[in-house]
Chain A
Amino acid sequence: MPDNAVFYHAAYTAAIIIYGGYVISLVVRSRRTRDRERRQMQRGLAREINTKL
C-alpha cells in the first residue's frame, strides 16, 4: 500500500475547515441579522411611544 496519508489528512482537514467555516459564517451572519432586527424593533417601539406622548 503506498504511503500517501499526508494527502489524505490534508484533504480532510481542508474540507472540514471550509465546510465548518461556512456553517460558522452562516451562524454569525444570522446572529448579526437578529441583532439588527432587535434594534429595528426597539426603534419602532420608541417611535410609537413618542408619537403617543
Chain B
Amino acid sequence: MTTPVPTEDRRNIDWLLTIAVVAVTATFIRAIFFTPAEALQGLAQKIFYVHAPSAFIALYVAFGIVAVSGALYLWLRDERLDRIAASAAEVGVVYMTVVLITGPMWGKPVWGTWWTWDARLTLTLFLWFVFLGYLILRGAIEDHGTRARYSAVLGVLGALLVPFIHLSVYLFRTLHPMPIVLKPGRPSLPNSMLATFAMSFVSFALLFVALLRARYRLAARVDALVAEEEFEPAPMPNLRAEPIR
C-alpha cells in the first residue's frame, strides 16, 4: 500500500529556519575567510564573532523570555506561554553551552587561563545550571498543568536569583583580585570587523527566533497528539501476540 503524500508535507519545510541556517553559514564564511585577523590577539579573536552574540542572546533574550512568560503563565494560565518558556529554555541551553565552550577557548590564548571566577563568567555558569535544572524538572513531570506551573515558578525565581549571584560573585572577585586577568580594552574595530560582528549578531538572533519558532511548533504538535491520544479508546488486545502456555 502506498501512503498518499499529504499536501501538508510541503509546509513541513521550515523556511525561516532554512534562511537562518543560511545566514549563520554566510556569517561563518565571512568571519573565517573574509575578515582580517586582529594583530594583538591573533586568530583567536575571531571566536568573538560566535561567542559574543550567543552570550547576549542566551543571557538576556532567552532568560528574559523564560522569566517573563513564566510570570505571565502564572497570571493568565495560557499553555502557549508555557510552550514559549520551554522552547526559550531549550534553545537558551544550546546557546549558553556554545558560550561556555567557546569562552575558555578564547580565554586561554588571550587571558592566559581557561577559566576565571569573574562575575560574568560565574553568572553565566550558574544560569546554565538553572536552565539545565529547568529542563530536568520539565522532563520529570507528566501532567501538563503541573509541569507548566512548576517550571513557571522556577523561571521567575531564577530571575530573582540573578542579581544575588551577580552581587555575591562580584564581591568575591573584588576581594580576591585576579592578577592574571588581562582585560583588553576594546579597541575601535576596523570597519570590516565591525561589519562581520554586526552580521553575526543579526544572523544568530535570526537563528534564535527560527529555533524558538520551530521548537514551539513541535511542542504544540506533540501536545495536540497527546491530547488526542487521551480521547482514543484503548487498542484491542492482540490475542495472537501472547503464546498460550
Residues of chain B contacted by A36 (CB below 8 angstroms) = 225
Name the residue among A3, A19, A36, A44 with the largest chain B CB count within 10 angstroms.
A19
- CA A19 to CA B54, docked complex, whole Å: 11
| A22-B208 Cα distance, complex, nearest whole Å | 11
Question: Is B32's CB under 8 angstroms from A12's CB?
Answer: yes
**Majority secondary structure, B binding face:** helix
Contact A11 B106 (CB under 8 A): yes
Shortest A10–chain B CB gap in Å is: 6
| Smallest CB separation, A28 vs chain B (Å) | 10
Q: How far is the CB of A2 from chain B (nearest CB, A)?
A: 4
Judge whether B140 is part of the interface by a CB distance below 8 angstroms: no
The answer for the CA separation of A9 and B224 in the assembled complex, in Å, is 43
Whether A1 is near chain B, meaning CB under 8 Å from some CB there, is yes
Name the CB-closest residue of A to B226. A36
Shortest CB distance A40–B (Å)? 6
CA distance A7 to B108 in the complex (A): 8
CB of A14 within 8 A of CB of B102, answer yes
